[in-house]
Amino acid sequence: MVENERRGLRLASVPVTMELDYTIAMASPEHLAVLADIELAAATMLQGHAPASVLEETIPRAKLVHAQQEERLWVALFKDIPVGFALVEMLAEDLPHLQEMDVTPDHGHRGLGTALLHTVLDWVARSGYQKMTLTTFRNVPWNMPFYSRQGFVEIHAHELRPELEAIVQDEASRGMDRAQRVVMGYWL
């Protein structure tokens, strides 16, 4: 599928329903201390799909601080306590990339991932970007199918910009099976 055929895709009009005690907010400095714990808790859901070394990785604090200062980091809060987050990395001036989105298993299946994603996509649109990308697991039921339902489409290897190819190569160098990974994009 060529890029022009993707234009015009819109976020699926799926209602985002969360329980009353949950909110999505821009991350503040005091939220940063618990994000690694959220990331590690969420990684337990991917055992058997990724090498243990990858599941033990966390985003460096300096990267979180930078993203928070640039307002590219959101948290899902349960009674004001972070239980999930979404981080956008700018791969190029025109290429926001959802680097990480995690929700702790104890707070899963409550619409938090969908709410975080909608919040990020709203930011992408308000910021004037034409698309957002991400990488995810092809065969994990709650990964690629989730993003597909939200309007993301696969970007095939021969269509990857150099910045996205670098992400895929980095994942492969860390032991992730390239055949089990997929690059996806959402066009505004």
pLDDT tens-place string over residues 83-114: 999 999 999 999 999 999 999 999 999 999 99
Give me the mean pLDDT over the 142-165 stretch.
Answer: 97
pLDDT at residue 14, as a whole number = 39
Domains held by the chain: number: 1
Give me the mean pLDDT over the 49-72 stretch.
Answer: 97
Give me the mean pLDDT over the 61-70 stretch.
Answer: 98
| CATH code: domain of residue 8 | 3.40.630.30
b/e sequence 108-127, b meaning 16+ C-beta within 10 Å: bebbbbbbbbbbbbebbeee
pLDDT at residue 141, as a whole number = 87
Give me the mean pLDDT over the 116-140 stretch.
Answer: 97
Q: Is the pLDDT score of 7 beyond 60?
A: no
Rounded distance, CA 97 to CA 72, Å? Answer: 10
pLDDT at residue 6, as a whole number = 40
List all residues 6 or more positions away from 50 whose beta carbon is below 8 Å from its beta carbon. 43, 137, 175, 176
pLDDT at residue 19, as a whole number = 62
| Domain with 165 in it | 3-187
Q: Is the pLDDT score of 12 beyond 50?
A: no
The per-residue pLDDT of the chain, averaged, comes to 91
Instruction: Determine contact, residues 59/102, Cβ cutoff 8 Å.
Output: no
Q: Is the pLDDT score of 1 beyond 80?
A: no
pLDDT tens-place string over residues 13-52: 334 556 678 999 999 999 999 999 999 999 999 999 999 9
pLDDT at residue 20, as a whole number = 72
